[in-house]
Structure 1
Amino acid sequence: MEGDAAAAAEGAERGGSGSPGTRGDGPRLVAAATNAAFEGDPPPYSPPDPKSAHLLYPPFPAGFSQPVPVVYQPGPGPFPPQGIPPAPLPYTTYDGQPSAGPSPGRGQRPPKDYMVESVLVTVFCCLLTGVIALVYSHETRAALSRGDVAQANVASKKAQSLVLFSLLFGLFASISWVIYVLVTLYL
């Protein structure tokens, strides 16, 4: 018995378990718990649970009036909308006949889109600025079709200036080429 107590005391000093027959200087097995949820890349973003929205967004304070729903006036239709008094719409006029698109206003002509001129200067004068003029010509048509006259005017002016620049550049390049050919032939 006395030997067992001495072996237990010696094992306790070495960090062993103190049981007879085991030695404290060997490798020990240590159990480690890992959490598979926190290994690797984080999960993709998912929106918060709607049931926990009250935790993320506190309720409005007392006496706070809720925002009034916004009511948009529909375009002209067969019946007047309910609850909205008839009023003139900002971009359309309605005289009983459905129109293909909004009109720019009374007495105003819609801006020119310069589509034909853009195609011609693209083919004959300057490809780069002609293509850009084509883009602005198309933008003019699109703005007119959706009733945005201000944007159509801006795009029309840009298309016009690009057509003019392309035409002048093409004329300059053509005249310069003719002068170069004449000079090289006769000198």
Structure 2
Amino acid sequence: MKDRLPHEKGFHVSWDQLHRDARALAWRIDGQGPNEGRWRAVVAITRGGMAPAMIVSRELDIRMVDTISVKSYNHQTQAAPRIIKTPDMEVVGDGTGVLIVDDLVDTGRTLEVVKALMPKAHVATVYAKPKGKPMVDTYITEVSQDTWIFFPWDMALQYVEPYRGA
């Protein structure tokens, strides 16, 4: 078998699969909020968390939705995370009753920065890798640390060589 680059051990997620998994995430956290089971706000981690956050907020009928922008990747290279946009802190406060939603937790470094800002928030991701799992309260699917997840917004249809070669 030929050697593969790290990004070649890929987990490809379609729009349909992301939608199903984000709905499953909403169902898993439904009724767990601190206000008679309800959540008061959703904060999406941009950009990857925006699609799942929209689905979660729709499923749970949460109208207060904001974003936090954390830059931690340059294409497929991870760097030190830094916040480039915060949510309305008057609304989210310490995070009580707030769902932080992202597509994936990888190493957990992005969530460390976010949780420092909103320490009482509930963190929910669609996908989780082992190193980042301790930073997440709820997730749907675990993938291995060496798997690269290809999200639908990153893909185009094209020919792919068979796994064992042509």
TM-score w.r.t. length of structure 2: 0.18
Pair member with larger Rg: 1
Q: Higher strand proportion, which one?
A: 2
Higher relative CO (Cα under 8 Å, sequence separation at least 6) belongs to 2
Q: TM-score, normalised by structure 1?
A: 0.16
